[in-house]
Amino acid sequence: MTHMSAQLIHTPSTSQRTAKENDPMKPQRIALALLLAMTFLITPVTPNNAVAQTVIGGDPEMLTAFQRGDLPKVKSLVIRGDNPSMTDFDGRNGITIAARNGHYHILDYLLQLSTPIDHQDNIGNTALFWASEDGDYDMVAYLLDKGASVDIRNGRGLTPVMTAARAGYLDILELLIDHGADLTIRDYTGRSPLDWARDSRTPGVEQALIQAGAQ
């Protein structure tokens, strides 16, 4: 008769089970395991070991087309389904990008698509602000003719007329005044267009504001 050796089966004691159940690190270990599993599942697989990139702030193709004035490219991307109102990292939309690069044909097309002409970027500036600061008289005139708000405020409470006064652009200042710029508005520190004009020390700027009724 063959005798089989008895196999001893180890059963954890009550104290061992209690220690495991009361392990203070157990929730952290479970969370870490879940995180690693999720990371593995959602990591994108790219061909030829290419690096997967996340585009933040809009499609670079569209933004580049705005900057270069490539209207056929912009139109093709819109047909593809891209959003013509997308913005870059600084919050600037196609109107501002095209305006700062002098691309009137891009502006005409975007305005036909009802792209906001008074879109404000991350610091509250619109295309009219930038044109006023850049000294681009023709662009300021174009934007005003297309309905840009002459009294919109940026993040500091400045208006385009304050921007022009500060930069010392007399012709742009007079153009904004002719379009009804409110000369009584003060920025968030209490400064008026006249205060900004005095800082610029540009001949004629302060006088133009005084003649227009600024105080």
Grouped pLDDT means (10 residues each) for the chain, 215 residues: 46 52 59 47 33 44 95 96 93 96 98 96 97 97 98 97 95 97 96 92 91 90
Task: Say how far apart CA 91 and CA 125 lie, in whole Å.
Answer: 10
Delimit the domains of the chain by residue range: 56-116, 121-215
Q: What was the pLDDT predicted at 149?
A: 97
Q: Which residues pair with 87 in a beta bridge?
A: 93
Look up the CATH number of domain 121-215.
Answer: 1.25.40.20
Q: Do domains 56-116 and 121-215 have the same CATH topology?
A: yes
Q: What was the pLDDT predicted at 33?
A: 55
For domain 56-116, give the fold: 1.25.40
